[in-house]
Amino acid sequence: MIDLHSHSNISDGLLSPSELVEHAVNNGVRVLALTDHDDLGGLTEARQAAAQHGIRLINGVEISVTWKKRTLHIVGLNVDPDNAALQAGLAAVRSGRLERARQMGLSLEKSGIHGGFEAASSYAQQSILTRMHFARFLVDRGYAKDPKAVFKKYLIKGKPGYVEHEWMSLESALDLIINSGGVAVLAHPGRYEIKRTNMLLLLEEFRALGGAAIEVVTGSHTAAQYVEYAKYAQLFGLKASQGSDYHGKGISFMGMGRLPELPSNCIPVWQDWPEIDALLAA
C-alpha cells in the first residue's frame, strides 16, 4: 500500500511517470514516492496522474553519493521540487554522467563489446545515462540473461564497463534534502559492500548529518536483511522506510504492491505524516 522508492523513465525506469502511477494503482499502492536518480523532472506529471487516480504522491529523489570511495544512494522524501539549491545540486550530479557513460562505452570496447555507448544513449533517450541502460544493452546482446546477471560480470568494480566516478558528498546530499523540507533516507543499505565497522560509522555519520531513516524493506533486501536493518535502525534511533525500487518489468528486484510489512520494532518514516495517517485510517 505504501511504496516509497520507484523509478520512471526520467531516470532508468521503463515507464513514464504517469504510466508508473497507473501501474502502482493497479497493484494496490495508495502512497507512492517517485524517486528518480538525481532528477526531479518526473514529479509534475506523476502528481497529475496521482490526483486523477486518487492516490497520494510523495515528491522524492534518489541522490548518488560518494562516501569513503563508495557509491551510496540517499533517498529524499517530501523534498520541494521547486527548491533552487536542490535543483542546482542535482543538475551538477547529472552533468558528470555523460562523460562517464562515454568512458563506460570505451571500457566495454576494450573487452570487445562494441556500440554500448550508442545503444545506452538510445535506451535513455532524453533521460540521464545510467548503468541500467548499459545493462539493458548487454542483456539484449545476449551477454547475460537479465540485469541482475549483468551486474555480476560487467559494470561493477574490476569488471568491463566499470568507471570510477565522484558523486555528491554525503553532507551535501543531506543538506540539500533537509533544506528543501525533505527527510533523508539511506537507500538499500544491504546492497553496499560495507563491513559492520564501516556500516556503524556510516550510520553514525548519516544520523549526525540529519539523516532520518534507513530502508529496511526494499526489493533488493532478503528477509534476513529486513531483520538485520530493522536492528540497525533501532540501534541508531533511525526510522524505517519501505519501497520496491521498481524500475519496470524484467529489470526490477521486486514488483509493485508486494512489499511485506516493516518488522514490528520499526518506527515507520511516515509516522508523523498526517496525510498518510488519514489515508490509512480511511
Binding site for ligand AMP (CB under 6 A): 12, 37, 64, 130-132, 147-148, 151, 247
Smallest distance, ligand AMP to C-beta of residue 43, A = 18
Site for Mn ion in 236-255 (CB under 5 A): 245
Q: Which CB atom, from 38 or from 245, has the smaller least distance to Mn ion?
A: 245
CA dihedral sign, ordered 135, 141, 142, 145: positive
Q: Which CB atom, from 25 or from 132, has the smaller least distance to Mn ion?
A: 132
Smallest distance, ligand AMP to C-beta of residue 240, A = 21
Q: Using CB under 5 A, which of the segments 23-31, 56-64, 150-158, 210-218 binds Mn ion? A: 56-64
Q: What is the x/- site pattern for Mn ion, positions 124-143, by CB under 5 A?
A: --------x-----------
The option from Mn ion, ligand AMP, none interacting with 39 (CB < 5 to 8 A, set by class) reads: none
| C-alpha cell at position 227 | 531483520
Smallest distance, ligand AMP to C-beta of residue 202, A = 18
Smallest distance, ligand AMP to C-beta of residue 75, A = 11
Q: Which of 30, 56, 73, 239 binds Mn ion (CB under 5 A)?
A: 73
User: Which amino acid would we find at residue 18?
Assistant: S
Q: Which CB atom, from 110 or from 157, has the smaller least distance to Mn ion?
A: 157
The option from Mn ion, ligand AMP, none interacting with 148 (CB < 5 to 8 A, set by class) reads: ligand AMP
User: Which amino acid would we find at residue 264?
Assistant: S
**Pick from 139, 165, 200: nearest CA to 70:** 165
Q: Which CB atom, from 16 or from 48, has the smaller least distance to ligand AMP?
A: 16
| Longest distance between any two alpha carbons in the chain, whole Å | 58
Smallest distance, ligand AMP to C-beta of residue 98, A = 12
The yes or no reply on residue 3 touching Mn ion (CB under 5 A) is no
Residues that bind Mn ion (CB under 5 A): 12, 62, 73, 132, 187, 245
